[in-house]
Structure 1
């Protein structure tokens, strides 16, 4: 059975690509991006397989 670990990462608008590229290089897959209600804060939800 596959098991996963998860991470939530705050995103900075002017550096979103660089942040996601770095996490991707570390094996993380983007699951979803959400803006927090009532704020301008953006959070990425990522997962990767546990070994």
Structure 2
């Protein structure tokens, strides 16, 4: 059975692609992205298999 680790991270709307690409290159898969505390921030939830 695959075991997962999870990460929650803030994402700035003006740099979304760059931030998501960085997490993706580290092996994180985006699960969900939701609005943050203010309109310029989002909150991203990621997962990746435990090595």
Please, what TM-score do these two structures have when normalized by structure 1?
A: 0.88
Runs of at least 5 residues in structure 1 that lack an aligned partner in the other structure: none
Runs of 4+ in 1 over 6 A off after TM superposition: none
SS at match of 1:16: helix
Instruction: Report how many aligned residue pairs link the two structures.
Output: 50
Give secondary structure in 1 for the equivalent of 2:7.
strand
Q: Point out where structure 2 has 5 or more consecutive residues left out of the alignment.
A: none
